[in-house]
Each structure stands twice: as C-alpha cells, then as structure tokens.
Amino acid sequence: MEMTLNNGFCELTADEVELIDGGGFWKAAGVFVGTVAVAWSPVVAFVCPPAAGGMALGGLGIIGKATGKY
C-alpha cells in the first residue's frame, strides 16, 4: 500500500511500481508511426491535398489506438 506524504504525493512500494503499465514496443511503435504520419501530412498536402487530411486523421487514429485513448 502506498504511503501518502504531507505534500500530497504518494510513495509506491517496489511491487506497486512493477505493476504500472509502462507500455511496450508495440505501443511505442504505434505512437511513432502515428506521429510521423501527422508530421508529414503538410508535406503531402502540396502533392495531393485530399490525401493529407486522410493521412493526418489516420495518424491520429493510430496514436489513439496505440495509447488506448480513443
């Protein structure tokens, strides 16, 4: 059980720290690919403007799926 300190923070035990989900390779890869898609969408807008919107929304969807924040 965590110990609550006077300043409002909690100190976790070693077992509790191990239970925290820090993500993994696939979550990190999903966020990376989604970020690259969103970042490159303005460049794609010069070549094919309709594809840029789809690329940006697709990238945001990948980020949302990877992090579990829909």
Q: What is the pTM of this model?
A: 0.65
Amino acid at 2: E
CB 7 within 8 A of CB 31: no
CB 37 within 8 A of CB 58: yes
Q: Express the helix, strand and coil content of the chain in percent, nearest 5 each.
A: 70, 5, 25
| Strand intervals (E) in the chain | 3-4, 10-11
pLDDT digits (tens, 9 = 90+) for 11-70: 777 777 777 766 788 888 999 999 999 999 999 999 988 899 999 999 999 999 988 866
